[in-house]
Amino acid sequence: MSLAATLMTMLGVLWIGGGSVWLLTRRSYKLVQVPSFLMDLVGFPVEYAQSIWGRGGVPYALLLPNMLIFGLFTFVPMILNFYVSFTGGTSILLFNRPWVGLQQYADIFSCETIFEPRTCSNAGFSFWTGMFNTLWFVVIQVPVLCVVALVTALVVNKNIRGRGFWRAMFFYPVMLSPVVIANIWNWVLHRKGVLNEMIGGTRDQLSVMAGMTGFDIVMTVLLAVVLMVVSERALRSSDTPSLAWTTIFGALLALLFGWANPLSLIGLGGSFWLGGALALGLVLIVSSESRHARISIIVAGILSAALLISIQFDAVFDFGRYRPINWLVQPNTGWPFFWLVFVFTWSHMGFYMLILLAGLQAIPSDLYEAARMDATRPARAFWRITLPLIMPTLTVVLVLALIRSFQIFDEVYLLTGGGPGRETFMIVQNIYEVAFTNNNKDYGEGAAGSVLMAVVIAIFTFFQLWITRRQSEL
């Protein structure tokens, strides 16, 4: 019989037998009071504590079960982690494990340089690969998650029809289990899956359209009209340009840059990103209500007209045959990593959205009314009222998202399994594989990895809290 079973039996006999006797000798129960008796029996230790130590003993008795579980299954493992990380061997019995001192840490650190995991020992290689992948993941994931959650919260906080439904819809993926999520996205992202099918179909249709005569002229005229309408709309209002229309204009500008590819004249790629940067700059200028907002929109308009004339649309839209991409398996494309970020955002965003939504609703509405009285533009109201007041909540969300994405395991393990190669291999997977799935289960190394990971998480969290210390609510 195991230790736990013996203890539990003894405790059970004492609790149920002793408790019944104790209660029945002191209190009288009628037959209808059986449920009440059972409940008293559940709380027997508390009753007993009260009878011995009086009311002063009750809180300790109430705290006991919770603290027992915290102690045994959180604090003891926390300390034990250090001990295990100093021992070697594969034994599962703590006292049979030989003391190896700092050997496990030395293994992990035995690299020429830790920034090049290839130069490490085996243990060091998988640890540092996992660590750097995880750091990359966190650095990309946390801002993406926060921005998407904030935008969604702002949208569902608006006076729109069916708000309850939209909130529920965005929250729904949080309820799904990682296995279900992985199966769904595996199915969608399969090489012959529906995503590739949709992309292929759209491209084929566009190619056919682009092959028709006069497509170039029609496209140019159409886009010119759209651009004129959008820029006119952006400039229409009397004082400062409209932010919403400027955003659309910026998106169009980035597209035009991508298509016209002006950087190819000097032999460089990445025109689209240049366009995107310009568009972002334009939006920032307009949202900061600078004096130069109007003139910069006009300049961008002239620029876009020049770009528009230089584009050969039938060449742009002739895609040729589409070769389906194996989204989760193709190495050296960055797609597996991208989809990981995407699926993680998909499945966790709803939770952070709800927290931010609660923060948004706590902002007193008379602030916005006052802003409206002063004819403040919505963008300005966002930067000056919403953002500063949501900052405490946003800090909480940042910290939670950081800790959460550091521990990413389920989604990676089920979607890519850490592959292709080691591109999406994360730190928790390293710990899991080292300690639990290898043939010789190396608990010591797993524990050493956990300790190092805890150190990194602690540094990150404190760093983040220090940066946002003025807004912090934690």
Partner 1 sequence: MLDRLGTFLTRTAGNKDTAERFGMADFLAYGYLLLGVLIVLVPVLWTFFSSIKPERAVDSFDTRLLPIAQVQTEIEGIGTKPEWIHEAEDGGERKVFKAGPTRKETDVAPIEDPGDVFKVPRTQLRPSEEVRVATENYLDPLLKRHGQENFTFGIYLFNSIFVTAMATLITLIINAMAAFALSKYRFRGRLTFTILIVATLLIPSSIILVSLFFVVWSFGIFGSLWGVIIPAAATPTGVFLLRQYMLTIPDELLEAARMDAASEWRIFWRIVMPLSLPALSVLAILSVIWRWNDFLWPLIVLISDPEKHTIQLGLTQYAGEFDTDFHYILAMTVVSLIPITLVFVWLQRFITTGIATTGLK
Shortest distance, CB of residue 284 to partner 1, whole angstroms? Answer: 18
Shortest distance, CB of residue 243 to partner 1, whole angstroms? Answer: 9
Shortest distance, CB of residue 448 to partner 1, whole angstroms? Answer: 9
Shortest distance, CB of residue 77 to partner 1, whole angstroms? Answer: 4
The answer to whether 152 and 141 are in contact (CB under 8 A) is no
The 10 Å Cβ neighbour count of residue 411 is 22
The answer to whether 90 and 440 are in contact (CB under 8 A) is yes
Shortest distance, CB of residue 162 to partner 1, whole angstroms? Answer: 9
Q: Applying CB under 8 A, which of residues 12, 17, 18, 77 lies at the interface with partner 1?
A: 77
Count of residues binding partner 1 (CB under 8 A)? 105
Shortest distance, CB of residue 1 to partner 1, whole angstroms? Answer: 8
Shortest distance, CB of residue 214 to partner 1, whole angstroms? Answer: 30
Q: Applying CB under 8 A, which of residues 171, 215, 319, 337 lies at the interface with partner 1?
A: 171
Vertex 33: Cα angle to 32 and 39 (nearest 5): 145
Q: Which is nearer to partner 1, 261 or 430 (CB)?
A: 430
The answer to the question of residue 463 lying near partner 1 (CB under 8 A) is no
Q: Which is nearer to partner 1, 129 or 271 (CB)?
A: 129
Q: Which is nearer to partner 1, 189 or 223 (CB)?
A: 189
The answer to the question of residue 108 lying near partner 1 (CB under 8 A) is no
Give, as ranges, the residues between 88 and 107 that touch partner 1 (CB under 8 A): 92, 94
Backbone angles phi, psi at 249, to 5 degrees: -60, -40
Q: Which is nearer to partner 1, 173 or 271 (CB)?
A: 173
Q: Which is nearer to partner 1, 69 or 306 (CB)?
A: 69
The 10 Å Cβ neighbour count of residue 113 is 10
Candidate segments 110-118, 154-162, 249-257, 264-272, binder of partner 1 by CB under 8 A: 154-162
Rg of the chain over CA atoms, in angstroms?
31
Q: How far apart, in whole angstroms, are the C-alpha atoms of residue 435 and residue 429?
A: 10
Q: Applying CB under 8 A, which of residues 105, 127, 351, 425 lies at the interface with partner 1?
A: 351
Burial zone of 347 (CB within 10 Å; 0-12 exposed, 13-18 middle, 19+ buried): buried
Shortest distance, CB of residue 291 to partner 1, whole angstroms? Answer: 23
Please report how many Cα atoms fall inside a 13 Å half-sphere around the Cα of residue 326, on the Cβ side.
7
Considering Cα of 273, then 277, then 283, then 287, what sign does the dihedral take? positive
Helix/strand/coil percentages in the chain, nearest 5? 75, 0, 25
The answer to whether 145 and 345 are in contact (CB under 8 A) is yes
Q: Which is nearer to partner 1, 175 or 268 (CB)?
A: 175
The answer to whether 278 and 253 are in contact (CB under 8 A) is yes
Give, as ranges, the residues between 374 and 403 that touch partner 1 (CB under 8 A): 378, 396, 400, 403
Query: Which residues lie across from 305 on neighbouring strands?
Result: none
What is the three-class DSSP state of 217?
helix
Shortest distance, CB of residue 314 to partner 1, whole angstroms? Answer: 28
Give, as ranges, the residues between 15 and 74 that touch partner 1 (CB under 8 A): 39-40, 42-43, 46-47, 50, 55-56, 58-60, 62-63, 65-67, 69-70, 72-74
Q: Applying CB under 8 A, which of residues 30, 192, 291, 469 lies at the interface with partner 1?
A: 192
Q: Applying CB under 8 A, which of residues 16, 21, 102, 155 lies at the interface with partner 1?
A: 155
Vertex 165: Cα angle to 162 and 170 (nearest 5): 125
Q: Applying CB under 8 A, which of residues 218, 299, 454, 467 lies at the interface with partner 1?
A: 454
Q: How far apart, in whole angstroms, are the C-alpha atoms of residue 257 and residue 311?
A: 10
Q: How far apart, in whole angstroms, are the C-alpha atoms of residue 175 and residue 349?
A: 11
Q: Applying CB under 8 A, which of residues 29, 187, 338, 463 lies at the interface with partner 1?
A: 187
The answer to the question of residue 147 lying near partner 1 (CB under 8 A) is no
The answer to the question of residue 5 lying near partner 1 (CB under 8 A) is yes
Q: Which is nearer to partner 1, 79 or 266 (CB)?
A: 79
Burial zone of 366 (CB within 10 Å; 0-12 exposed, 13-18 middle, 19+ buried): exposed
Q: To which residue do tokens 């960055």 refer?
A: 334
The answer to the question of residue 244 lying near partner 1 (CB under 8 A) is yes
Pick the closest to residue 298 from 249, 259, 243, 258 (CA basis). 249
